[in-house]
Structure 1
Amino acid sequence: KEPIKTFSVGFPDREGNELSYARLAARSIGSEHHEVVITSEEFFRALPRLIWHEDEPIAFPSSVPLYFVSARAKKHVKVVLTGEGADELFCGYNRYRVTAWNQRLGEAYSRVVPRFARDGLSRTIDGLPWHARRYLGRTFLALSTDPRTVFFENFSVFGERALHEILVDSAALQTHDPFEDLLRCYEEGSGGILDRMTHTDLQTYLVELLMKQDQMSMAASIESRVPYLDHELVEYVVGLPAECKLRGWQTKVVLREALRDLIPAEIRTRRKMGFPVPVGSWLRGPFGAVIDEFVTGPRATERGLLEPHHLRRLADEHRSGQAEHGTRLWLLTNLEIWQRIFLDGEDSEAIMNRSIGRAVAA
């Protein structure tokens, strides 16, 4: 009988590389395993073409490796199965446990510690160096426990304060709440905070992930299917108690237990890593010229949408190591490339060969 075929993708960098675990999983099931290793240059050179395929700025850096592994799979199969939906169903994301922890401890903290002391500590944290503020500023010591603050604002790339700083015209924020749709989904959910968070992500975040999955696989001319989103499985898992999904710091509890005898313990018990792409370190190192071209360059700053001095501050802080703005700079890079393709009418291949090529060569 022909063995099942499996495919994984990674980078030469040690940061975010899970290829060894993919090999272990493949050996455990006896699959015919295929690996794709993408260099940082291949990653950036492919970006304009993939933005064209998505028809919008690419929010998820993982879209790029997803395209490459889809292209490799196309050489061997016509349809692939992927894991989208498992994190939303089984409480796999780190933000679920962090938010539950923040809310539980934050409510006790609010009952015990006087308001003036809490406000004073919050101001102290706000004035700390970025590396300390990065962690303490995302805990109950600095946040209120309402869902808008502790969940949506806390895990957004550009929170409301950041939007006011970066937008030339931030007046629209006075009449439009960027979290309006998310809060509505949260309120429409039932049960406790974990049930409401996963309900919200199933209605919003997962929709974007599925769109990304479909666009990148179709760009490689291959079909993808999502077995975790079989409606009977979704209906069953949604009805399970929250403690079957998140227990203490362990995520996906019931799924890990169900697979106890099927996958190696090294995989089943390890902490979730996600699909990290080392964009931040690339932009801080050999591909800093990408920022110069698409974030702080004259074409980007002269559009009149974003504050040039704030763009330069983000770039300078990231390069110097004062702060980690890799995700923000990634989004801003994508926004500018998208505008050049769809507003300025530039050919994506021309951008790839000229602008990206120049940045890569630098």
Structure 2
Amino acid sequence: MSKTLLITGGAGFIGSYLADQLLEEGHRVRVLDNLSPQVHGGDCMRPDYLVDDVELVRGDVRDPDAVQKALDGVDGVYHLAAAVGVGQSMYQVAEYTSINNMGTAVLLEALIEKPVERLVVASSMSIYGEGMYRTALGQAVPGQRRGREQLKQARWELHDAEGAALEPVPTAEDKQPDLSSVYALSKYDQERLCLMIGEAYGIPTTAMRFFNVYGPRQALSNPYTGVLAIFASRFLNGKPPLVFEDGLQRRDFVSVHDVARACRLAYATPDAAGRVFNVGSGNAYTVREIAERVGAAIGKPLAPEITGKYRVGDIRHCFADVTLAGQVLGYRPQVTLEDGLAELVEWLPRASAVDRVDQAGQELARRGLTL
């Protein structure tokens, strides 16, 4: 049955793909988005990739009037609006807290007055901090934060109390959060607020913990976007990608098509209410490997520059266990990294890529956020 669905932040990268898929299913789609200059450029115009059938309400999720207008007549909500970026969140504390925490609170107050049939909120793998590990005896243990002294000595890996190396393993949803950045704290707040209010007011709510999402339409000129897009921007500007630590930290990279599909499944699955799900590929790649593969795919195999530096708030290893999403939602990642990179490379000639990575790095260094 056709529904009218609202996507907050829906003019952005992930939201636009979700809008495409919802339209293909026959739904009506409305988007609330402030068209942030950091994401959409200085002209703040409606992006070309947002199809004409999407109704755009330009406004801020912190504005009660804009939110009320956007909610008029909708059946369900996907809440994707957020300021994104671990490093930037550590000095734009008020901005991130305002957009992510207060914006979610404003939306939820409006939903208390105008309940909808479903709410799906975008959370983040950043809430885990370090992922899960296995000891030499096979015991599963959560990763602990690395101290500054350890990092200053470039001892990147995690060890147990006896000094034995820990092996990273997939991280499942039952790992306790370890909030090591303002961004992580704000995403956890978004997640818990939505689940709490959803339960209190009878709005079935699901939180989706996205891992490292990539694909066409990412804001290549935003130095705080996903690492894969940042690497692509560097290559397009004839510069090697900058890789922190030794480049052997492992992450999960998931196609935006799979992420949008997971969000649709969460909305359509009654048993998803009140639960959280990892949304990743279920695969782990080193950051150095990703840099090399992006360069090879673009045809500019510049060796990545291994900086040996560390950013405050970064973690060593974290990649997704997607078993629960498969069991409950029927989610199966469909886009391989090879196919996803090929699609990204095909899109790049049409994209604008102003490299601002050096400026962002200088800003972090000036504030003592890199070691």
Q: Which fold has the larger relative contact order, with Cα–Cα distance below 8 Å and residues 6 or more apart in sequence? A: 1
Scaled by the length of structure 2, the TM-score of the pair is 0.31
**Which of 1 and 2 has greater Rg?**
1
Instruction: Point out the structure with the larger helix share.
Output: 1
